[in-house]
Homo-oligomer: A and B are copies of this chain.
Amino acid sequence: MTTTETGAAWADLQTHFQELADLGGIGALLGWDQSTYLPAGAAGGRARQQALLSRLRHERATDPAYGRLLDDLAKRDDLSPVQTRMVAAARKDFGEATRFPARFVAEFSGHTGESYAAWTQARPANDFALMVPYLEKTLDLSRQAASYFPEFSDPMDYFIDQSDEGMTAAQVGDLFAALRTALVPMVEAVTAAPAPRTDFLFRPYPGSAQLTFGEAVIRDYGYDFTRGRQDLTHHPFMTRLGSHDLRITTRVKENDLTEALYSTLHEAGHAMYEQGVAEELLGTPLGSGVSAGVHESQSRLWENLVGRSRAFWAAYFGRLRDAFPAQLRDVTEEELHRAVNTVARSLIRTDADELTYNLHVIIRFELERELLAGRLAVRDLADAWHAAYEQNLGLRAPSDVNGALQDVHWYFGNIGGAFQGYTLGNVLSAQFYAAAERANPGLTGDIERADFRRLHGWLRENVYAHGRRYTPNELVERATGEAMTAQPYLKYLREKYGELYGVTL
């Protein structure tokens, strides 16, 4: 038997990569359609189509011939650096797809379905006790899942690595602890100051005009509508239907000016990241965003650091008032800017503002870390939740409905690594923005002129183009010159909210 030339083997591999990418895109189309246009009566048939496509994709992702090809290529010494990284990433994915025994996958998947169904009953009934046995089993199965990856000594490290490759529970835990120490007194000080006026946000704003305005903004940002589009859905998301088909969705409330706008800016940030991946990486395992945290950094950057900045409203307040002259007749630019940056303690993560949001995430991260480590029993989770909210936010939910039963994640099989990406994203958004500003002095002035070319260009070059070529930690260091750090984020929050609320933070 002769060894295939590297060139021919590489061509085979590219074909396989492209096929996996295309099956992924087809699956995304099935999901996008389900969330946007699918007729109600077609839900059952669609679920069957999705199961079939998942199976076809799994067959190809776990094809032993593919595994042998990867092993073969991993031994060659004539691969380019990017090829070497492609093979490594593909082998990681292959291991992820093949190491679980089929019986285990079936058991976990069956249990997840039952747990989710039970949660849809338990939450409205405020019956946390009902969920205890389900969560206990989820926890057992999660530990078992991690055990198939003995290279991780801590199950939490395995789950974090799934969404934020190379990051560890210790790294994230230290970062979050530092954040909490800084955030708790900031929230304290800001919420003690007088609240801004917000009444005008809730006047009637026709939906189509809201959508038109939001789409004009993201067109300015650089979202490419020839390689994407926006549609309506219940829970907004970005999805990759193909290398050149990055769609976003939003929802409109006709009596809320900010709902659609900020969801549009957020999802456009995710999509611009994907639209910026270098051509040479598309259709390969490196051809999309690298991690939950870095992805969220881009949605948050365009939503918050840009879209809730004073410079942004200097550029857009006039256009917004042209779109809604009656609704904004008695509103100043400053009032609008203050209104979209209102800080208030609340019980619900998804409704939280920029400043308090991270505390919701940190609470969940710490609880799931304790659960996985066996230091917190599931039966004590509901009380631990209340205690953590009192400690971090000074609030106590009147029941478990908005307590331990609040988010679907844990009840859908995701314990460990389900939440940290949101806050990693906030932290990184400021770190990337600060680096972009160092490289492009006067960036705020660009935003005041609705000129996003330098910012978008810097992000493309330093973040987007690389796809999954570097690990998140490597990417952050290359782009910003330092390891992930909360300092730029805390500096940003202190300056912004200190000035807005007239307090020293």
Q: Is the CB of B42 within 8 A of A244?
A: yes
Residues in B neighbouring A241, C-beta threshold 8 A: 42
Identity of the chain B residue whose Cβ is nearest the Cβ of A45 in the assembled complex: B242
Q: Is the CB of A30 within 8 A of B37?
A: no
Q: Does A52 contact B (CB under 8 A)?
A: yes
Q: Is the CB of A242 within 8 A of B49?
A: yes
Q: Does A23 contact B (CB under 8 A)?
A: yes
Identity of the chain B residue whose Cβ is nearest the Cβ of A226 in the assembled complex: B41
Q: Is the CB of B23 within 8 A of A244?
A: no
The answer for the CA separation of A18 and B47 in the assembled complex, in Å, is 13
0/1 string, A32-54, CB within 8 A of B gives 1:
01000111111011101100110
- The minimal Cβ–Cβ distance linking A275 to chain B, given in whole angstroms, is 9
Q: A226-B39, A231-B37, A245-B39 are in contact. Are A45 and B29 (CB under 8 A)?
A: no
Q: Is the CB of A45 within 8 A of B245?
A: yes
Q: Is the CB of A245 within 8 A of B25?
A: no
The answer for the CA separation of A182 and B42 in the assembled complex, in Å, is 45
| Most chain B CB atoms below 10 A, which of A19, A30, A38, A242 | A242
Q: Does A254 contact B (CB under 8 A)?
A: no
The answer for the CA separation of A26 and B41 in the assembled complex, in Å, is 16
Q: How large is the interface on A (under 10, 10 to 19, 20 to 34, 35 or more residues)?
A: 35 or more
- The minimal Cβ–Cβ distance linking A485 to chain B, given in whole angstroms, is 37
Q: Does A227 contact B (CB under 8 A)?
A: yes
Residues in B neighbouring A33, C-beta threshold 8 A: 29, 33
Q: Does A243 contact B (CB under 8 A)?
A: yes
Q: Which of B30, B37, B48, B228 contacts A229, CB < 8 Å?
A: B37
Q: Does A202 contact B (CB under 8 A)?
A: no
Residues in B neighbouring A37, C-beta threshold 8 A: 229, 231
Interface set, chain A 279-336, CB cutoff 8 A to B: none
How many copies the complex holds: the figure is: 2
Q: Does A148 contact B (CB under 8 A)?
A: no
Q: Is the CB of A39 within 8 A of B228?
A: yes
Residues in B neighbouring A19, C-beta threshold 8 A: 52
0/1 string, A376-411, CB within 8 A of B gives 1:
000000000000000000000000000000000000
Q: Does A104 contact B (CB under 8 A)?
A: no
Q: Does A193 contact B (CB under 8 A)?
A: no
Q: Is the CB of A39 within 8 A of B244?
A: yes
Q: Does A157 contact B (CB under 8 A)?
A: no
- The minimal Cβ–Cβ distance linking A242 to chain B, given in whole angstroms, is 4
Q: Does A152 contact B (CB under 8 A)?
A: no
Residues in B neighbouring A245, C-beta threshold 8 A: 38-39, 41-42, 45-46
The answer for the CA separation of A292 and B448 in the assembled complex, in Å, is 60
Q: Does A56 contact B (CB under 8 A)?
A: yes
The answer for the CA separation of A147 and B241 in the assembled complex, in Å, is 41
Residues in B neighbouring A226, C-beta threshold 8 A: 39-41
| Most chain B CB atoms below 10 A, which of A30, A37, A226 | A37
Q: Does A224 contact B (CB under 8 A)?
A: yes
Q: Is the CB of B39 within 8 A of A23?
A: no
The answer for the CA separation of A231 and B37 in the assembled complex, in Å, is 10
Q: Is the CB of A42 within 8 A of B242?
A: yes
Interface set, chain A 33-83, CB cutoff 8 A to B: 33, 37-42, 44-46, 48-49, 52-53, 56
19 example contacts (A-B, Cβ-Cβ < 8 A) are as follows A22-B45, A22-B52, A26-B26, A26-B30, A26-B49, A29-B33, A37-B229, A37-B231, A39-B225, A39-B226, A39-B229, A41-B227, A41-B244, A42-B241, A42-B242, A42-B244, A45-B244, A45-B245, A46-B242
5 more contacts with CB within 8 A, not counting A18-B48, A23-B52, A42-B242, are A22-B45, A39-B229, A40-B226, A41-B224, A49-B242
Binding site for B on A (CB under 8 A): 18-19, 22-23, 25-26, 29-30, 33, 37-42, 44-46, 48-49, 52-53, 56, 224-229, 231, 241-245, 247
Q: Ordered nearest first, which 5 A-B pairs have the shortest CB separation?
A: A45-B242, A42-B245, A41-B227, A41-B226, A41-B244
